Each structure stands twice: as structure tokens, then as C-alpha cells.
């Protein structure tokens, strides 16, 4: 256990569905991240939140909508996804001091299948 | 644009062997480099973090080196064990240190008993 939990662990959804992924960190960190891990591609950063403010959007399509209500929780709202969005979605958290990001701690991921 | 490459993509060795995993990056202007381990169906676990001013870091049987000028890092695993079987990922952070990690595709290691 890394102190970062993600729910659900597995999700199957149709292209017209709306669903949300949840991430919670119990480490007292102030930065949270969403990553996408597709087969045959390197793990890609999607979003970064520092102190609940989004500081990085890595050109992610608008069908992915992040929400960070507080430093401990991070959501990824999904709507009208495409089959190529099927992947493992990983959440991570870290401590930010000044502009320095410490080691990131990862959750177990949500395995998403879009039909 | 920073690109990270890991060679080999897969490696199978008998138990007890010493082995080296390689990571290269195209832009030497990095803040730090990290090695992670990922077990099947699970998240990542940080193994070693090397700051740009450092040459190596050690943790138990693991030793990671960094040659920033040549854009290379190696992860050395001594006396490999079946429990070391996993995918090993290398990632770099740019000088701005915005928290953005750029990952390689990983090396999948199998250690046979």
C-alpha cells in the first residue's frame, strides 16, 4: 500500500456513458497527478494539480475533465470516450516545497475498457 | 522535446545473475531521474531518485548511475531473485521541475528460479 487509493479498479463503459474515476491520497501531500498508460506506449502525464490548482494539462482532449476539490481527492470525469481511450489510468501524489516536487507515490490504477 | 528510451524492452535471466538495465534521454537539461518498478496490474513504486548533480544512488541490491552529459542512466541489480520480476521504468523531470515526469516504455524483467 502506497497511501494512494483509486476506485474503481476496473471499469467497462460504452462510448455514450458518463463515469468518474476517484483518487484519494492519505499522505498529506499537496500535489496530485493523473497519468494514462496504454499498451505499447510510454506512461503519459495528463494533469497536474498543486494546492488544488491545475498547473499542467498535457493537451488532453476535453472528454477527460479533472476535478480537485481538495488536496486529498482527485477525480477524472469521463464522457463520450473512444475505444482508443482504453488504458490503465494512474493517480499519483507528491509533496511540493517551493517549486520542488518530491518523489511521486502512485495508486494501483483503474483499468478502463471503452466499448 | 524530451524522449526517454529503455533498452532492452524485455530481459530473462536465471536467478543469481547480476544485470544492467539501460535508460537514455535526449535532453540533458534535467532536474532529476527516477527508476520505478511496476508489478503486473499495479501502480508504480519508486526505487531510486538521482538528482542532476549526483552520479549514483544505491538501495540494497540496486544501484543507479547517471551520466547527464551523455544522456544515460543505468540500473544495476545484483544477485537477481525471482521476486525482482517486474517492469522497470525510467523517468526524467525537466529543469522547470513542474512535476512532469517523462517516462520510457520500460524493461520487463523475468528472473527464473
pLDDT of residue A96: 82
pLDDT of residue A101: 65
pLDDT of residue A99: 59
pLDDT in tens, A5-57: 999 999 999 988 899 999 999 999 999 999 999 987 889 999 999 888 888 88
pLDDT tops 90 at residue B26: yes
CB < 8 Å from B in window 78-97 of A: 90, 92, 94, 96
Q: What percent of chain A has pLDDT over 90?
A: 74
Helix (H) or strand (E) holding A106: strand A105-106
E strands in chain A: 4-7, 10-13, 18-25, 31-37, 44-50, 53-57, 64-70, 73-79, 87-94, 96-97, 100-101, 105-106, 110-114
Q: Does A48 touch chain B (CB under 8 A)?
A: yes
Q: Does B53 touch chain A (CB under 8 A)?
A: no
> What is the rounded distance in angstroms from the CA atom of residue B27 to the CA atom of residue B70?
9
Find, among A11, A17, A7, the residue nearest to A113 by Cα. Answer: A11
pLDDT tops 90 at residue B98: no
pLDDT of residue B86: 97
Which residues in chain B have their CB less than 8 angstroms from residue A50's CB?
99
Using CA coordinates, name the residue in chain B closest to A30. B99
Amino acid at each position: 500500500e502506497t497511501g494512494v487509493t483509486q476506485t474503481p479498479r476496473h471499469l467497462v463503459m460504452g462510448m455514450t456513458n458518463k463515469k468518474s474515476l476517484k483518487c484519494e491520497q492519505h499522505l498529506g501531500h499537496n500535489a496530485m497527478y493523473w497519468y494514462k498508460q496504454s499498451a505499447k506506449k510510454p506512461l503519459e502525464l495528463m494533469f497536474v494539480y498543486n494546492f488544488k490548482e491545475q498547473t499542467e494539462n498535457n493537451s488532453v482532449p476535453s472528454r477527460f475533465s479533472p476535478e480537485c476539490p481538495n488536496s486529498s481527492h482527485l477525480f477524472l470525469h469521463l464522457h463520450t470516450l473512444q475505444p482508443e481511450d482504453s488504458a490503465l489510468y494512474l493517480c499519483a501524489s507528491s509533496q511540493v516545497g517551493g517549486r520542488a516536487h518530491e518523489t511521486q507515490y502512485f495508486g494501483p490504477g483503474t483499468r478502463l475498457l471503452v466499448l | 522535446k524530451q524522449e526517454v528510451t529503455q533498452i532492452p524492452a524485455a530481459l530473462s535471466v536465471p536467478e543469481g545473475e547480476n544485470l544492467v538495465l539501460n535508460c537514455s534521454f535526449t535532453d540533458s537539461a534535467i532536474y532529476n531521474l527516477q527508476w520505478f518498478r511496476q508489478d503486473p496490474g499495479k501502480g508504480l513504486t519508486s526505487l531510486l531518485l538521482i538528482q542532476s548533480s549526483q552520479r549514483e544512488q544505491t538501495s540494497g541490491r540496486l544501484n543507479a548511475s547517471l551520466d547527464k552529459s551523455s544522456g544515460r542512466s543505468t540500473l544495476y541489480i545484483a544477485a537477481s531473485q525471482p521476486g525482482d520480476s517486474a517492469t522497470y521504468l525510467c523517468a526524467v523531470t525537466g529543469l522547470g521541475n513542474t512535476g512532469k515526469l517523462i517516462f520510457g516504455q520500460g524493461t520487463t524483467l523475468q528472473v527464473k528460479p
